[in-house]
Chains A and B, each alone.
Chain A
Amino acid sequence: EADIYQTPRYLVIGTGKKITLECSQTMGHDKMYWYQQDPGMELHLIHYSYGVNSTEKGDLSSESTVSRIRTEHFPLTLESARPSHTSQYLCASSEDSVSPYGYTFGSGTRLTVV
C-alpha cells in the first residue's frame, strides 16, 4: 500500500489559473521527486528535493515551482496554467539507507488545462 499521497487525482482548470498539486509521504523519506509523464509514457524529472529547504530543477525545464518546508510535504505550483501544462504529474520519494533504494510513487494527478 502506497504511503505517498497525491491530491487531487484529476483536475480540470481554465487557462491562467494558479494551481497547487499536493504530495505528502508518511515514510520520513528525505528525497522527493516530481515527474511529468506525457501520453507517450516517458517520464521527465522536473523537480527534486534532498531535504527540507532543498529544491533543484530536474532534467526537463518546467514553469512550475516547488517548495519543501516540511519533510513530508512537497507541493508543486503553477502560477498561471496553460494548455501545454496538460499532463500526468507523478510524485515519488526515496530513502537512501534502505535497500533496494527504489522510489515509491504516488498515484499521480492528471491535469487538464482548458
Chain B
Amino acid sequence: GEDVEQSLFLSVREGDSSVINCTYTDSSSTYLYWYKQEPGAGLQLLTYIFSNMDMKQDQRLTVLLNKKDKHLSLRIADTQTGDSAIYFCAERYSSASKIIFGSGTRLSIRP
C-alpha cells in the first residue's frame, strides 16, 4: 500500500543547512510535495517536484528526488529561526488521486 515515512525530529544550528528526508513506497507517484506547518496554523505548500525531475531549486530550498530508491529530500540552506516548523512530505499518484502525507518532521533551530 501507499506509505510515506519521515524521521520525527531534526535539530540544526542557525545558519547551517537542514536536510529533511522522506521515503515513499508508491513507485508510480507522479507528484511529490513538501508542506510546511507553523505553530497553530494549517499546512502551506512549500515546494513540489514532478517525478520526471531529479532536482528543483527555489532560493534557499533544494528538493532532490531519487526515484530508484524512492527517496525525497528537502534541503534548507542558511537555516533561520523562522524555518522552525513541521515539514510534511507528500506524494500523489495522479492529479485525480488523494495526496498521501508523511507523519511530519519537526525542525528546531538552536542558536
With A48-B98, A100-B33 as contacts: A41 and B103 at CB distance below 8 Å: yes
With A41-B104, A97-B95, A102-B99 as contacts: A108 and B33 at CB distance below 8 Å: no
Residue of B nearest to A6 (CB): B42
Q: A12 at interface (Cβ–Cβ under 8 A)?
A: no
With A41-B103, A42-B104, A43-B88 as contacts: A102 and B45 at CB distance below 8 Å: yes
In contact, B33 and A102 (Cβ under 8 angstroms) = yes
Contact of A42 among B41, B45, B103 (CB under 8 A): B103
With A42-B103, A90-B43, A105-B42 as contacts: A100 and B48 at CB distance below 8 Å: yes
Chain A residues near B48 (CB-CB < 8 A): 100, 102
Interface size class of A (residues with CB under 8 A): 20 to 34
In contact, A101 and B95 (Cβ under 8 angstroms) = yes
Q: Give the B interface residue count (CB, 8 A).
A: 23
Chain A residues near B95 (CB-CB < 8 A): 96-97, 99, 101
In contact, B101 and A43 (Cβ under 8 angstroms) = yes
A69 to B95, CA, bound (A): 24
A15 to B106, CA, bound (A): 32
Chain B residues near A42 (CB-CB < 8 A): 103-104
- Beyond contacts A96-B95, A107-B40: 8 other A-B pairs, Cβ-Cβ < 8 A, are A6-B42, A41-B106, A43-B88, A48-B98, A101-B95, A102-B48, A103-B99, A105-B42
Closest 6 CB pairs of A and B: A105-B42, A41-B104, A105-B43, A101-B95, A42-B103, A100-B48
